[in-house]
Amino acid sequence: MEDIPFMSGGLPRFPESLWRKTTPLPDFNKLTEDIETDVAVVGAGITGITTAYLLVQAGVKVAILEAGKVLDGTTGYTTAKITAQHGLIYDKLIQHFGEEGARLYFEANEEALRWIGKTVKERKIECQLRQEDAYLYADSDEQLHQLETEWRAYERLGLPGEWRDTIELPLQARGAVVMKNQAQFHPLQYLKELLAYVTSHGGVVYENTTLEDVAEPQPDGRLRLTMENGRHIVCRHAVSASHYPFFDGKGWYFTRLHAERSYVVAIEPEKAYPGGMYINCGSPTRSLRSAELNGKPVVLVGGESHKTGKNDCTIQSYEALEKFGQQTLGIKSIPFRWSAQDLVTLDGVPYIGRITSNHPNIYVATGFYKWGMTTSTLSAMLIRDLILEKENRYAELFTPSRFKADPSIKHFITQNADVAKEFVTGKIELVHLKPEDLVPGQGGVVKHHGKRAGAYRDQDGLLYLVDTTCTHMGCEVKWNEAERSWDCPCHGSRFDYKGEVIEGPATEALPRLHRQPEQAKS
């Protein structure tokens, strides 16, 4: 592994994931010919790779399609907690799904946790898997009241939790609920081995292969998928493991999901870390877990969640986490910082299953709400069973076709009113900055030839200008300073400073407003 020197202090200049930096990954070719397969899995993150792994084990012929590089999406930027302790959730689940549904949610995630542990042991995967207790703590009187309500839900459901009045971290915790025997790991070291199994047992992987269209099923029921380069895949089943669904099928997913960003700083602490995984139950979110880098302990300090495109100064999110890390454990250095994007459903439970009743051979797994290590794994197990026509007791709970009147209606109205507001305000926003005002390393919305445009000037002084109208549904993107990206506040699409798609639902780049970047004036 490449040696990674610790920085002398302060935040790294550019975001980079510890997991990505410490895991060399294989390269795969682009799809350049028409192929046939049993199952096409779209997306090469933890959901797609785990789904392919399970299907290959069952003797199914599988092809994985990835628009970019494998494991370069949300999976490569997670905090990688493997746990059924998902914050303040079980009381809400009882209210909206009943005690049986809430208990099933726990059992599904617990089953996924145990499956990961069993797989690591059986395949002898070196991925820093460690059993840890997961703590949900309150740091204010208001949070304490919420936590006490959640604890009563644990007791009603018979969940394996314990109440604690204090925690070992030097925080002003008013109380905590601990769920024992949860886990953490290095996600890419784990998935690299699952991917190797897939490719050595007949599965194929294609990178830089973007799906453009899904045709209506052929007379024999098979699907025909068209790539942006005109190549085709004919398959019996297709799985959307691409974070945002690659196909809507009149399921109106863009109205039932919203995107949130959260942030992580990896610190080398001055004080010894006591172990455990921690998250508070209020806002702003604060999350802690340990990791290892070149044989040295580091701590991942996460939180600062907000809706994508809703934060005008994202670097302040990193600075807030740095301050919290300094106050809690002290900081010798900060070798890495990064952020992740997660999708949230109307009722807080992932959509897993057939994308719509009219498309029974297309499956979706989305809306993991920051808990993707277990929910992606249970997604793979559930979708495998649906494809193999096996009974799965979790299918009804997670079915994408559900609609809970409370809270779904309220969230549906609020969410889509917000989208409408963003659409209008983005169009009428007054812009005073000009391209020539930007200094190297600066980006922002500018006025170019009398119209709104997005501009970024790189460290060499070259200027990149793009159209700021999101290619998904026409909202206006906003500049994300900390990530050097253009983010859409309506549905979470993200583009790099050159306009290329980083995250969907958009599939087309922002148009460049000139062919060559302009040199800064001397």
Look at 277 and 341; give whichever has higher pLDDT.
277
> What pLDDT, on the 0 to 100 scale, is given for residue 416?
47
State the average pLDDT for the chain: 87
> What pLDDT, on the 0 to 100 scale, is given for residue 82?
98
- Computed from CA positions of residues 405, 102, 264, 244, in that sequence, does the dihedral angle turn out positive or negative? negative
> What pLDDT, on the 0 to 100 scale, is given for residue 519?
54
Polymer length in residues for the chain: 522
Among the ranges given (77-91, 203-217, 242-256), the one the predictor scored with the smallest mean pLDDT: 242-256
- Angular region, 408: left φ>0, alpha ψ -120 to 50, beta rest: alpha
The predicted model scores a pTM of 0.81
Q: How buried is residue 410: exposed, middle or buried, by Cβ count under 10 Å (0-12/13-18/19+)? A: exposed
Taking residues 31-42, what's their average pLDDT? 97
Taking residues 190-212, what's their average pLDDT? 96
Token pair of 246 as six digits: 């690659």
pLDDT 10s digits, 475-493: 888 888 777 888 887 767 8
pLDDT 10s digits, 72-111: 888 999 999 999 999 999 999 999 999 999 999 999 999 9
CA distance 209 to 415: 32
Residue 182 banded pLDDT, cuts 50, 70, 90: very high
pLDDT of 445 strictly over 90: no
Token pair of 187 as six digits: 């996600």
Residue 430 banded pLDDT, cuts 50, 70, 90: low
Q: Which DSSP string corresponds to 274-318?
A: ---EEEESSSS-EEEEEEEETTEEEEEEEEEEEETT--S-THHHH
Q: How far is CA 52 from the centre of its chain?
A: 19
pLDDT of 424 strictly over 50: no
Q: Which DSSP string corresponds to 245-268?
A: -S--TT--HHHHEEEEEEEEEEEE
Residue 308 banded pLDDT, cuts 50, 70, 90: low
DSSP class of residue 124 equals T
Residue 414 banded pLDDT, cuts 50, 70, 90: low
Which letter, b or e, does each residue of 196-229 get, where b requires 16 or more Cβ atoms within 10 Å of its Cβ? ebbeeeebbbbbbbbbeebeeeeeeeebbbebee
pLDDT of 516 strictly over 60: no
